[in-house]
Structures are given as structure tokens and as C-alpha cells.
Amino acid sequence: MWLLRPFVADFSMFFAISGRIEAEGVTAMDWLRSVNPSLILFGLCAFLFLLAVGGGFALYQEAWYFQIPFGVINGFMVFLGFTVLHDACHFSFSRRRWMNELIMILAWPMFVFSPFLFRRIHLEHHAKTNQGDSDPDHFTASPKLWKRLMKSFFLIFYYHVFAFQHFKHPRWRRHLILSAFGPIFLIYLALITAFAKPLILTWLIPNVIGIGILSYVNTAWPHHPARETSRYRNTRNTFVPWWIQALMFNQNMHLVHHLRPSLPWYRYPEFYKAHQLEIARNSGQGLFYTQRKEYYELQPLWLRHYKEIVAKLLIGEWR
């Protein structure tokens, strides 16, 4: 029963403040507009992931190419869902630690490999950015574009080598085994069951491709040439057209993330505007693929306005 206590406490809080919300004149729509954007994003990605995998299994007897649309959806959800997983890794999905841990667990099937091992490795990257072999993401560094692309698709496998070499504690050894067990188990099921096509074409291969693309756009691309170790120059912000920034959910603002790792993705533009001069004074770097020199606000002004209205009542628990 102790596992249910956090949920019970949350629902108790909800009913306790519902009267206050009504007293303040905040409607149900106002309350809905105040919900954590990461929660909405995760719900959407999880739903479409389950829909894609379920569709693949439903058509397991059909020709292999029937799996392709479901595989594309799954790979796309891995790409989009990473933003939520990434925030949970930095405990910025929610102020409540257990909420971040819950998101990590729920995201595990989507990403196959252990999110908890990824968190440990990712925090190591933040602590030792561009410091050679001490930085796990330095594996993707290369002066040649084709090598950076190729290495990006092998980065998830190198993570396991890095963990084996650097993490000796039994806890992380267990996570290493669990992480490696995920794809091996899917391959094993594909060999002994009739569901080989959905397991491989809808689930496993799109997962690896999605993670490979993520590894390039979030690691090799912003950190190249991966020689600087200054906190203002060890990575770069990337200025791209609005639709690319929307697809990346502000992950193109990589320097902002390194300067404030605990900041949730939807606050990156706000942070950049507030610290733009400071970043410039410290020779912060940027890549420009558009003439626009400012980032787009992915949260419209009306949403920010309503969040301010209900901040003291509800949203403070999520930020």
C-alpha cells in the first residue's frame, strides 16, 4: 500500500485545491491549459507507440512491408519522446522525484535500453564534456561528417562498453545487464515466436534508428569539433527554422541545456533571452541555418499567462 501513497496524496491535493480554483474564477479549461507540457507530450508519444506496436502485432501474418508504417511511427515517437525522458533524467520533468522515476520506468519499453543506465552515462557526459575518453559522448567526435554520422548509430552500443569499463558498482552492473538484455530478449522472441516481423521491423529496428538520429542531432552535431571544455564553449546552440525547432522540442538549444541542465525543455527560449548577453560575453557559440537570430517560443503567450494565474494553486507542483 505504501506504493499508492504518493498517488493518494496527489489526488487529495487536487480535491483540496479544486474549491480554491473555483473561488479564484479559474475554469476547467484554464486548469487544463496549466498542465505540464511534458506530461502531454509523454502521453501522446506513449499512446502512438502502443498504437504502432499493437498495429504491428495485429498484422503479424501479413507481408513484411505492412510493418513499415508502424515502424516509422515508432521511430518518430522515440525521437519525440526522448525530450521527456531527457527531462526525467535531469529530474526536471517534475519537482517530485518519484514522478521522474515513474516516467523513466514507463518509457523503458519505448526505448528498449535501460533509461536508468542512460541517466548515469548522460550525467557523466555533463560532468566531463569533451574530456576525451572520460566523456561517453566523445565517442561520436570526428573531423569527418560521415564518421560522426556512423558513430552516432553505434553510440548506444558504445554506452554499454563505457559502462562496463567505468561503472564497477553492483547496482550499475545490474542495470548494464538489464539494458543489454532488452534487445537480446526481443531478438530471442523473434526467433521462437511467430511475431518476428513486428518485433524486429516495428519495434527493435525503428528504436535503434531513432536513437541513432537522436545521437547525431543531440551529440555529434552540437558538440563538434568536441575540443572545447569551457562551459560556454563546450557545445553550441543551433538556430534552425521554426518547424525543425518544434520537432526537436528546443533540443537545438544545447548550450542552454548545458548551462542549466535542470531546466525543462519548454523554458529554454526564456532562459536564452535572459542570458543572451552573458553567453555572448563568454564567447558562446552558435550554428545558424536561418536568418533569424532569436529562438521561437514553443509555448504561446496565452498559455504562459494562464500558467501564471494558477501557479500558486497547482502548477508549482509540476515545475
What is 249-273 written as a DSSP string? Answer: TTTTBHHHHHH-TTS-GGGHHHHHH
**243 pLDDT tier (thresholds 50, 70, 90):** confident
Counting residues of the chain whose pLDDT is more than 70, the rounded percentage is 80
Section 245-250 average pLDDT: 91
CA 6 to chain centre: 24
DSSP conformational letter for 220: I
- Supply 167's cell numbers: 561503472
- Supply 14's cell numbers: 487536487
115: amino acid identity, one letter: P
Mean pLDDT, the chain, rounded, equals 86
User: Is the pLDDT assigned to residue 153 strictly greater than 80?
Assistant: yes
Beta strands in the chain (DSSP E): 236-239, 285-288
Contact 92, 264 (CB under 8 A): yes
225: amino acid identity, one letter: P
Number of domains in the chain: 1
Q: What angle do CA 118, 121, 125 make, to 5 degrees?
A: 130
Confidence at residue 21, expressed as pLDDT on a 0 to 100 scale:
46
- Please count the other Cβ atoms lying within 10 Å of the Cβ belonging to residue 277: 9
Region of poorest pLDDT, from 61-75, 213-227, 304-318: 304-318
User: Is the pLDDT assigned to residue 304 strictly greater than 90?
Assistant: no
Range of the domain at 246: 2-317
φ/ψ of residue 60, rounded to 5: -65, -20
Confidence at residue 188, expressed as pLDDT on a 0 to 100 scale:
97
Contact 175, 117 (CB under 8 A): yes
CA 156 to chain centre: 14
In Å, how far are 60, 198, 202 from 63, measured between CA atoms?
8, 11, 13
Confidence at residue 292, expressed as pLDDT on a 0 to 100 scale:
63
Confidence at residue 120, expressed as pLDDT on a 0 to 100 scale:
97
Confidence at residue 10, expressed as pLDDT on a 0 to 100 scale:
43
Contact 81, 46 (CB under 8 A): yes
Confidence at residue 68, expressed as pLDDT on a 0 to 100 scale:
97
**1 pLDDT tier (thresholds 50, 70, 90):** very low
**305 pLDDT tier (thresholds 50, 70, 90):** low
In Å, how far are 103, 136, 250 from 126, measured between CA atoms?
21, 10, 18
Rounded to whole angstroms, the Cα distance separating 199 from 190 reads: 6
Confidence at residue 17, expressed as pLDDT on a 0 to 100 scale:
42
Confidence at residue 7, expressed as pLDDT on a 0 to 100 scale:
39
Counting residues of the chain whose pLDDT is more than 90, the rounded percentage is 72
Model-level pTM?
A: 0.82
User: Is the pLDDT assigned to residue 6 strictly greater than 50?
Assistant: no
